[in-house]
Amino acid sequence: MNKTEIKNELPQNFEELKKAANRTSNWRERLEAVEELGQWKHEQTIQLLTRIVENDTVYKVQETAFQKLKAFGVGVRLPAQKKGDLIKGTTKALVRIKKSLPKGHTFEEFKEKLQKMRSDIYDTYEGEKGADFDQWLENTWTSL
């Protein structure tokens, strides 16, 4: 297996990576940015990765940032996986979306409206739940 070389400098595309790492509605882009940032051991990349470990809403992204910092030799603690609402007010937002749809709407209509209105919630839970996302969302929709 070929180990990625860690460079002790700031990547030329740091600002671009920083934007991607902060994109709340796309956990996959954040994960890709973390993977790339993990190749550059620099004060600014360490600060950014540390913030991601502490604050990202998708545990997989937090965990990857944690592994990258560990590879740099930075002492960092991985927070426990969050329980309950991953984004404050998720349940309220889901109830509002359900109420905004006509009586007898389908799960697909609910899912589509959630994705349009609250892409941050949709994306975070999709990233967190993985293959179980649709089942979780449908169960949640039914119980609201």
Q: What is the pLDDT of residues 15-73, one digit of tens each?
A: 999 999 999 899 999 999 999 999 999 999 999 999 999 999 999 999 999 999 999 99
CA dist list (Å): 127 to 11, 52, 106, 130, 136 = 26, 15, 23, 6, 12
Is the pLDDT reported for residue 76 higher than 70? yes
How many CB atoms are closer than 10 A to CB 69?
A: 23
Tell if the pTM clears 0.85, that is, is over it.
yes
Domain coordinates of the chain in residue numbers?
14-72, 90-143
Q: How far apart are CA 74 and CA 7, in angstroms?
A: 15
